[in-house]
A = this chain, B = another copy of it.
């Protein structure tokens, strides 16, 4: 295995390290192989979306190797803590799920130590983990066919937009009489309501 989605491993490493904030995490290499394996097992020309089961690393491989991003909402993150993703036809829901199979790590000691956090990060040999991740390629992964349930498939058209009478900001009208932030008082910040210059 010397490529992911048409890029050489070296090309992929440069791209993903740059995008991911300058750090080439081993999880990005494994995630690259996951995306590659999943995409190779979809029928050609499928218009697809992606569900990641962890926010860790996998979303960045997806966003660099496929047209699916957080901002176009073709990539979804459901954080159940598993190192897995599903890639599926956005209309029929038919697709594949790929996950790292922990029982396949036995012959890759450095990956196993990293993945199971058996050593503090300062004692890990990052170069060896990256080397093993590249050598292991898709051999540490499992793939299965899945069908995504209908409520996750192509979203309905967006509704009209309202102004929230509390915050005076715009929000999708179908959320109710107030925007969810004001309705549920759920925002994680305190505002100093200090006006600053905007130019």
Judged by a CB distance under 8 angstroms, whether A154 is at the interface is no
Contact partner of A80 (CB less than 8 A), chosen from B41, B143, B160, B180, is B180
Contact partner of A199 (CB less than 8 A), chosen from B72, B137, B159, is B137
- Residues on the B chain within 8 Å of A193, using CB: 144
Judged by a CB distance under 8 angstroms, whether A194 is at the interface is yes
Q: How many A residues are at the interface, by size bracket? A: 35 or more
Q: How far is the CA of A195 from the CA of B142 in the complex (A)?
A: 8
Task: Write 20 A-B pairs (CB below 8 A) sorted by A numbering.
Answer: A20-B72, A22-B67, A37-B198, A51-B188, A53-B181, A55-B71, A59-B70, A63-B70, A81-B179, A81-B181, A82-B179, A83-B170, A86-B189, A88-B189, A93-B189, A102-B169, A116-B160, A116-B170, A144-B193, A152-B189
